[in-house]
């Protein structure tokens, strides 16, 4: 026990001071954890982890010391040691920038030591609780250290099932606990046999382990006990019961009852085999990510400091401890040293092989920590001194007698569980990964394609013509010289070598280039290998020898097959960045190069044609509509669709003669989208998952050349000298398109109808007012729950799309704040009972923000639709809003939207995590930009399901707003580096009357939602600083609420954006004629009045003696 205490103490030190390469001299000096500042919030997960981490230390120390010092002294010394160790480690964390010294952590650690020591005291047979426990143990199980170790192993399994040890009988939590069971019952195709087998083998092995140390018949008690542990998960927050777990338990129970297995060997050997098989099966289940990951060689990396990490350690440790214990029981005394050491080698080889193989399995994470834990688990049972007591032969309970009472009760229990789970399950099929779901059709299941205009001669892919080569030689010989240098005769850059071999035949060593191409091995998404092989085979077709051509054709066919399998197996979706980064482009290039030269080319062209014409293009038309646009945020436009939108149509046209580039209006509209998404400061608007705001869109220049779109061409104007603009070859750049003010000729407003986005501005200068408004459908990928939200910019961000995309995808800040509606300029409607945790096989508590239904990537609810047909089949899920009308005229823009479906669909009501409770019956917003007065008016009609559901009208800012009565002011300082002169926003709340206006934010409340500040425990500001991007995460928001509860409320707010220091402001007042509410704007001697009819979306403008009627009631969504 002493060695266990020392070993665990070393692990605590390592975990607390990890990572070991971040040590810095403390800038603020060494921090005393006792006097350190208390955090603004106390995250339950952190408290639990810090508490539990020290419980084993307290337990091991107290057990080791009580033999020599007695229970009282052991208790005191253990608590003092834990307290001192935690104090020392917390102080040392002052030198680790990624760690925070906290008095809460110190107290939690000390409490954990106390808890472990008290548990050891309870086990003391000299005290009453320990004596009772000891008597019960002797009645049921053999005495001795190894028998106790078997029970400890059983306890470790229980801990892995019951964590995080927080039960709740709240009906929403119980439904969440049953939901995966109900989902699988509703959708049997999602059942995962491998997981069921893994669980069943583990329970079977545990049953045999318990029988090895039992003094009485324990099969029925163990069956009941293991079922109780599984059922307990229903009530534990964050845990869920699955059909796989029940099926595994049932299979294990049947085998335990059917097989007598009376001898030690007949129990131990099957148990060891079951554990080995279960462990191996678990390692080969693909994860949710399509990517493969290299092996982690740093022990316990990612496992320290989190409850999930502690559970991972236990889940790996206990099976190998059980195997080591069983092997020790089977081994004669004289062979134990050999068995122990031989087992070490075998376990190391077995565990390492499994981890190494996981590097090639998508979504798996190979980790040397698992190898070390397997070795530790095997080794531990051999260290204990064996103490035996006389054991009597276990009695055998007759199975039929047990069945008489067990079977009726079991059937009743299972039927009850099934009925409850069925109602808790989702009507929409929900899966935690893509396995077992509908896939794209296999090539052999598709009909042959007809490509009458196909160019069978090579090269087929876009390539430099004679005019291009002559122009480069004449106008930009430096580019040719640079490419020649990069090629290095075939030894250098492969892309450059292929280009120069085509431009200057004979200049490259084709034998060496051929060797390098043939040495490539397809991995990851396959594009890094398939694209150069396709280009080399196609462009240099006439230069290869017949033998070289044949081997390259074989390699190309292998690559096409790899890409088809990857896209099918991982269900890569045309709605998601992964398809375009860049397996889709690689597949099109490789298949076009191979088609007609090999029978496999024709077979795979069936798949490529179907994917392109029947999946990708319809989705592009859906999202881009008539005027362009794309739904993913920030950099995902550049690294995804932005490198396919020209390449694929250009390759298809070059090989087939079919001109998609000129026949699809959405492609030209995409260029408009690239222009309009730029704010006056030159950065991209903040929208969706976005961490970078000025990334290159690779296909922008070639597409702009194709469409002669000067404004898009000049976003990042190329060098005046010609260069190829795309892969494998794009049109040469053209200095005739270089016009710095090209965008000035574009309209000031653009409606991107496919995504429901309107962008409007006052002018094209850096001082312009810039407004965005979004109300459309959800397309799953890297979007936020923000239908109906707007942003406003003038001299700086005035109404922000707040939150930070980080510190990593799926972080607490990302999922609880930035992704949800609370972070956007919307209206939230809060039902206090809307607290169901995230669905799926692993539950997660998510803040109740009162916002929109949770759908799309990141929630673990459903995979991306593989095509438009699947999206339409789930339209009830993805339909979130519609822009009913956009009026651009009369020196104004009026946008009328209905985004009620973003909050409510037919499944809303029971409180399921995704669909949420039914809170909203109507959510209409009318946004007016009066360009002449430079005023924005926001009018919302909101009907809640119940009047007590609180409504909050939100507007996010970076700096603290100043509130005076029904008015507020926001200031933004200048930023010369971004040509931002600074701005100010004057807000006037006209409705509701006597509003409740408050400012939420500031230190400790920047990202406040549902009683917690989601700032990643105070580390978010440092993470934003490290990234170095102008994220505009915000730190304050205005919350506007009605003065009294009501089902229906109307919000009417006028926003006046101005540059910093401007003093000329319009006079704004609310008006009413009984049937309508209005906003009267007096500015520069002109009066303009905007009228909004009560209960409808009719809008009227009175100005210059004219009356303009705009808008109508929304049709049903």
Residue range 201-258, pLDDT digits in tens: 999 999 999 999 888 888 889 999 999 999 998 888 668 889 999 999 999 999 998 8
Structural domain includes residue 909: yes
Pick from 147-156, 747-756, 848-857: least confident: 147-156
Mean pLDDT score of the chain = 89
What does the block give as tokens for 467? Answer: 């005019």
Cα separation, 914 vs 164, in Å, equals: 23
Q: Per-residue DSSP letters for 239-291?
A: ----HHHHHHHHHHHHHHHH----SHHHHHHHHHHHHHHHHHHHHTS--S-S-
Alpha helices per DSSP H over 595-724 = 599-609, 617-624, 636-639, 647-656, 660-663, 665-676, 700-707, 710-713
Pair 774, 920 in one domain: yes
Q: What tens digit of pLDDT does each residue of 948-970 get? A: 999 999 999 999 999 999 999 99
Distance CA 671, CA 228 (A): 60
262 has pLDDT over 80: no
pLDDT of residue 417: 73
Q: What number is the average pLDDT over the span 87-100?
A: 74
Based on the domain organization, do 666 and 757 belong to the same domain?
no
How many beta carbons lie within 10 A of that of residue 484, not counting itself?
19
Residue 1061, classified by CB atoms within 10 Å of its CB into exposed (0-12), middle (13-18) or buried (19+), is exposed
E strands in 766-837: 770-774, 790-793, 797-799, 827-830
Q: 66 or 20: which carries more pLDDT confidence?
A: 66
Residues 476-485: contacts with CB within 8 Å, 24+ apart? 476/721, 476/722, 476/723, 478/721, 479/721, 479/722, 479/723
Please answer whether residues 556 and 537 qualify as being in contact, where contact means their C-beta atoms are separated by less than 8 angstroms.
yes
**Other Cβ atoms within 10 Å of 235 Cβ, number:** 17
Q: What is the pLDDT of residue 681?
A: 96
Ordered DSSP codes for 996-1008: EEEEEESTT-TTE
First to last CA, the chain: 68
> Between residues 101 and 337, which one has the greater pLDDT?
337
Residue 1: is its pLDDT beyond 50?
A: yes
SS3 readout for 194-227? HHHHHHHHHHHHHHHHHHHHECCCCHHHHHHHHH
Distances (CA, A) of 488 to 485, 507, 539: 5, 9, 18
Q: Does one domain contain both 676 and 725?
A: yes
Quote the domain boundaries for residue 39: 1-140
Contact between residue 726 and residue 666 where contact means Cβ atoms under 8 Å apart: no
Q: Is the model's pLDDT at 718 over the cut of 50?
A: yes
| One domain, residues 687 and 726 | yes
Q: Are residues 703 and 763 in the same domain?
A: no
Q: What pLDDT score was predicted for residue 431?
A: 37
The confidence score (pLDDT) of residue 400 equals: 45
Question: pLDDT-based confidence at 399, cuts 50/70/90?
Answer: very low
Q: Is the CB of residue 779 less than 8 Å from the CB of residue 878?
A: yes
Q: What is the spatial distance between Cα 1033 and Cα 1025, in angstroms, rounded to a whole number?
A: 12
If residue 586 lies in a helix (H) or strand (E), which one and from where to where? helix 583-594
Residue 213 contacts residue 149 (beta carbons within 8 Å): no
With 90 as the cut, is the pLDDT of residue 134 above it?
no
What's the pLDDT band for 917 if we cut at 50, 70, 90? Answer: very high
Looking at the domain assignment, is residue 1117 inside a domain? no
The yes-or-no verdict on residue 651 having pLDDT over 50 is yes
Crossing angle of helices 665-676 and 617-624, rounded to 10°: 50
Q: What is the pLDDT of residue 515?
A: 96
- Say which range, 74-83, 359-368, 987-996, 1024-1033, has the weakest mean pLDDT: 359-368
Please state, in angstroms and rounded to a whole number, the distance separating the CA atoms of residues 111 and 827.
43
Q: Which residues pair with 967 in a beta bridge?
A: 964, 988
Do residues 76 and 132 make contact, with C-beta atoms less than 8 angstroms apart? no
The answer to whether 941 and 922 have CB atoms below 8 angstroms apart is yes
Please state at what angle helix 171-186 crosses helix 243-258, rounded to 10 degrees: 70
Binned at pLDDT 50, 70 and 90, residue 93 comes out as confident
pLDDT score, position 171: 63
The pair of structure tokens assigned to 717 is 């104007």
Q: Show which of 713, 745, 777 is a domain's final residue.
A: 745
Structurally, the chain folds into a number of domains equal to: 3
Q: Is there a single domain that holds both residue 802 and residue 718?
A: no
Q: Is residue 483 part of a domain?
A: yes
The average pLDDT across 1093-1102 equals 93
* Assigned domain for 596 exists: yes
Residue 759 is assigned to a structural domain of this protein? yes
Looking at 727, 745, 763, the residue that finishes a domain is 745
pLDDT at 166: 66
CATH number at residue 598: 1.50.10.100
Ranked by mean pLDDT, which of 187-196, 224-233, 250-259, 920-929 comes out on top?
920-929
Q: Which of 22-31, 261-270, 744-753, 928-937 has the lowest mean pLDDT?
A: 22-31
User: Based on the domain organization, do 735 and 792 belong to the same domain?
Assistant: no
The two structure tokens encoding residue 834: 């809307």
Q: Let me know whether 739 and 865 are in one domain.
A: no
Query: What's the mean pLDDT in 119-123?
Result: 79
Residue 117 in tokens: 């020591």
CA atoms lying within 13 Å on the CB side of residue 604: 28
User: How far apart are alpha carbons 414 and 418 in whole angstroms?
Assistant: 6
Q: What is the pLDDT of residue 39?
A: 60
The whole-number pLDDT of residue 918 equals 96
Instruction: Quote the pLDDT of residue 412.
Output: 75
What span, in angstroms and rounded, lies between the C-alpha atoms of 742 and 715? 10
The number of angstroms, rounded, from the C-alpha of 673 to the middle of its chain's C-alpha atoms is: 26
* Whole-angstrom distance, CA of residue 746 vs CA of residue 758: 15
- Comparison of pLDDT for 1112 and 590, the residue scoring more: 590
Q: How many Cβ atoms are within 10 Å of 894's Cβ, its own excluded?
A: 24
Confidence of residue 61 (pLDDT cuts 50, 70, 90): confident
Q: Which two tokens stand for residue 584?
A: 């889709």
Beta strands 1036-1041 and 1012-1013: pairing type? unpaired
Mean pLDDT of 382-399: 54
Cα 291 to Cα 177, 358, 454, 584, distances in angstroms: 30, 11, 34, 16
Given a cut of 80, is residue 2 above it in pLDDT?
no
Domain assignment present for 72:
yes
Task: Give the mean model confidence (pLDDT) for residues 276-289.
Answer: 78
How confident is the model over 771-795, as a mean pLDDT?
98
Evaluate whether residue 485 is within a structural domain.
yes
Reference 1102, options 1074, 1058, 1071, 1066; nearest CA is: 1071
Q: What is the average per-residue pLDDT within 407-431?
A: 64
**Nearest CA-CA partner of 557 in 612, 611, 614, 596:** 596
Q: Are residues 672 and 788 in the same domain?
A: no
Which residues make Cβ contacts (< 8 Å) with residue 502, sequence separation at least 6?
459, 463, 464, 539, 540
pLDDT exceeds cutoff 80 at 534: yes
Least confident piece of the model among 363-377, 424-438, 889-903 = 424-438
pLDDT of residue 290: 46
pLDDT over threshold 70, residue 20: no
Instruction: Report the percentage of the chain scoring pLDDT > 90.
Output: 63
Dig out the tokens for 420 from the structure: 């409850």
Quote the DSSP letter at residue 438. Answer: -
Residue-level pLDDT at 943: 98
DSSP letter (8 states) at residue 167: B
The pLDDT score that the predictor gives to residue 407 is: 63
- For residue 851 the two structure tokens come to 């916002």
CATH number at residue 976: 2.70.98.70
Look at 15-24, 71-80, 204-213, 478-487 and tell me which has the smallest mean pLDDT. Answer: 15-24
**Poorest-confidence range of 74-78, 114-118, 303-307, 990-994?**
303-307
Is the Cβ–Cβ distance between 425 and 179 less than 8 Å? Answer: yes
Are both 723 and 817 inside the same structural domain? Answer: no
Closest CA to 679 of 634, 717, 640: 634
Residue 759, beta-bridge partner list: 750, 772
Q: Do 770 and 708 reside in the same domain of the chain?
A: no
Statement to judge: residues 741 and 761 lie in one domain: no
DSSP code for 615: I
CA atoms within 13 A on the CB side of 243: 23
Question: Does residue 328 fall inside a structural domain?
Answer: no
Please say which residue of 716, 745, 774 terminates a domain: 745
pLDDT score of 165:
67
Name which residue leads in pLDDT, 289 or 835.
Answer: 835
Cβ atoms 990, 1077 nearer than 8 A: yes
Q: Where is 1091: in which H helix or E strand?
A: strand 1086-1093
């Amino acid at each position: 026990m002493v060695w266990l205490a020392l070993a665990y103490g070393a692990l605590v030190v390592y975990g607390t001071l990890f990572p070991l390469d971040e040590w810095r001299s403390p800038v603020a000096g060494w921090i005393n954890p006792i006097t350190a500042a208390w955090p603004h919030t106390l995250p339950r997960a952190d408290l639990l982890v810090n508490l539990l981490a020290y419980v084993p230390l307290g337990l091991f120390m107290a057990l080791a010391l009580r033999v020599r010092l007695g229970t009282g002294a052991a208790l005191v010394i253990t608590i003092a040691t834990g307290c001192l160790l935690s104090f020392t480690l917390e102080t040392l964390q002052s030198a680790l920038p990624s760690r925070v010294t906290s008095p809460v952590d110190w107290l939690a650690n000390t409490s954990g030591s106390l808890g472990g020591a008290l548990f050891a005291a309870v086990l003391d047979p000299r005290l009453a609780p320990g004596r009772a426990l000891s008597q019960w143990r002797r009645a049921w199980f053999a005495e001795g250290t190894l028998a106790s170790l078997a029970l400890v192993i059983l306890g470790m399994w229980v801990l892995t099932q019951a964590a995080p040890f927080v039960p709740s009988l709240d009906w929403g939590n119980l439904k969440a606990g049953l939901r995966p069971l109900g989902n699988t019952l509703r959708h049997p195709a999602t059942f995962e046999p491998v997981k069921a087998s893994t669980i069943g083998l583990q329970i079977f092995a545990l049953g045999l382990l318990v029988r090895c140390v039992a003094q009485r018949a324990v099969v029925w008690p163990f069956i009941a006990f293991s079922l109780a542990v599984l059922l307990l998960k229903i009530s534990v927050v964050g845990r869920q019961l699955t059909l796989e777990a029940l099926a595994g338990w049932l299979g294990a129970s049947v085998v335990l009852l059917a097989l007598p297995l009376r001898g030690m060997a007949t129990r131990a050997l099957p148990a060891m085999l079951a554990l080995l098989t279960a462990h191996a099966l678990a390692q080969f289940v693909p994860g949710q990510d399509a990517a493969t990951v290299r092996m982690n060689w740093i022990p316990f990396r990612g496992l320290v400091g989190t409850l999930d990490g502690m559970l991972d350690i236990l889940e790996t440790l206990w099976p190998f401890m059980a195997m080591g214990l069983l092997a020790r029981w089977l081994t004669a005394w004289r062979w134990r040293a050999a068995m122990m050491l031989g087992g070490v080698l075998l376990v190391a080889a077995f565990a390492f092989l499994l981890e190494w193989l996981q590097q090639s399995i998508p979504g798996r994470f190979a980790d040397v920590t698992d190898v070390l834990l397997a070795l530790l688990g095997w080794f531990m049972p051999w260290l204990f001194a064996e103490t035996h007591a006389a054991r009597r032969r276990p009695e055998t309970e007759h199975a039929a007698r047990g069945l008489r009472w067990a079977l009726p009760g079991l059937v009743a229990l299972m039927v009850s569980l099934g009925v409850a789970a069925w109602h808790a399950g989702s009507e929409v099929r929900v899966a935690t990964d893509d396995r077992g779901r509908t896939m794209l059709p296999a090539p052999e299941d598709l009909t042959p394609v007809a490509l009458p205009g196909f160019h069978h001669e090579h090269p087929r892919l876009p390539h430099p013509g004679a005019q291009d080569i002559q122009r480069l030689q004449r106008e930009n010989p430096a580019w040719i010289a640079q490419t020649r240098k990069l090629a290095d005769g075939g030894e250098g850059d492969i892309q450059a070598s292929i280009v120069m071999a085509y431009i200057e035949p004979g200049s490259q060593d084709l034998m060496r280039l051929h060797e390098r191409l043939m040495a490539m091995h397809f991995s990851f998404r396959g594009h890094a290998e398939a694209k150069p092989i396709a280009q080399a085979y196609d462009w240099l077709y006439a230069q290869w020898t017949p033998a070289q051509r044949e081997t390259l054709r074989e390699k190309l066919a292998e690559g096409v097959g790899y890409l088809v399998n990857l896209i099918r197996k991982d269900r890569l979706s045309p709605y998601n960045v992964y398809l375009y980064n860049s397996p889709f482009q690689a597949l099109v290039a490789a298949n076009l190069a191979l088609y007609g030269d090999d029978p496999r080319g024709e077979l795979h062209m069936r798949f490529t044609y179907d994917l392109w014409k029947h999946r990708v293009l319809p989705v592009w038309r859906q999202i881009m509509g008539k005027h362009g646009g794309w739904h993913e945020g920030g950099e995902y436009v550049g690294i995804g669709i932005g490198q396919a939108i020209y390449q694929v149509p250009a390759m298809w046209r070059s090989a087939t003669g079919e001109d998609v580039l000129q026949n699809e209006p959405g492609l030209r509209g995409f260029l408009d989208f690239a222009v309009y998404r730029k704010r006056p400061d030159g950065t991209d608007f903040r929208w969706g998952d976005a961490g970078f705001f000025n990334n290159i869109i690779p296909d922008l220049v070639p597409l702009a050349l194709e469409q002669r779109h000067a404004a898009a061409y000049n976003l990042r104007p190329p060098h005046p000298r010609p260069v190829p603009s795309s892969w494998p070859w794009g049109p040469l750049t053209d200095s005739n398109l270089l016009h710095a003010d090209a965008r000035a000729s574009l309209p000031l407003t653009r409606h991107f109808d496919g995504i429901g986005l309107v962008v409007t501005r006052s002018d094209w200068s850096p001082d312009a007012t810039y407004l965005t408004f979004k109300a459309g459908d959800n397309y799953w990928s890297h979007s936020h729950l923000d239908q109906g939200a707007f942003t406003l910019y003038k001299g700086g961000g005035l109404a922000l799309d707040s939150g930070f995309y980080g510190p990593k995808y799926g972080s607490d800040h990302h999922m609880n704040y930035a992704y949800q509606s609370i972070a956007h300029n919307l209206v939230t409607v809060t039902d206090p009972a809307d607290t169901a945790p995230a669905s799926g096989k692993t539950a997660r508590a998510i803040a109740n923000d009162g916002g929109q239904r949770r759908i799309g990537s990141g929630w673990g609810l459903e995979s991306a639709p593989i095509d438009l047909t699947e999206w339409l089949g789930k339209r009830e899920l993805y339909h979130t809003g519609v822009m009913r009308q956009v009026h651009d005229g009369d020196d104004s823009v009026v946008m009328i939207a209905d985004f009620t479906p973003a909050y409510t669909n037919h499944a809303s009501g029971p409180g399921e995590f995704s669909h949420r409770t039914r809170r909203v019956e109507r959510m209409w917003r009318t946004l007016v930009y009066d360009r002449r007065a430079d005023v924005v008016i926001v009018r919302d009609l909101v009907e809640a399901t119940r009047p007590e559901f609180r409504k909050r009208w939100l507007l996010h800012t970076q700096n603290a707003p100043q509130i005076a009565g029904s008015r507020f002011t926001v200031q933004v300082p200048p930023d010369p580096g971004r040509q931002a002169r600074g701005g100010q926003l004057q807000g006037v709340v006209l409705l509701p009357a006597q509003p409740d206006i408050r400012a939420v934010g500031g230190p400790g409340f920047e990202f406040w939602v549902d009683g917690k500040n989601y700032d990643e425990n105070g580390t978010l500001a440092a993470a934003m600083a490290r990234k170095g991007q102008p994220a505009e995460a915000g730190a304050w928001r205005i919350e506007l609420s009605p003065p009294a509860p009501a089902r229906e409320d109307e919000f009417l707010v006028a926003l006046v954006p101005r540059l910093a220091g401007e003093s000329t402001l319009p006079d704004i007042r609310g008006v009413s004629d009984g049937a309508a509410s209005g906003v009267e704007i007096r500015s520069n001697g002109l009066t303009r009045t905007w009228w909004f009819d009560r209960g409808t979306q009719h809008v009227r403008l009175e100005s210059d003696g004219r009356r303009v009627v705009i808008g109508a009631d929304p049709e049903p969504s």
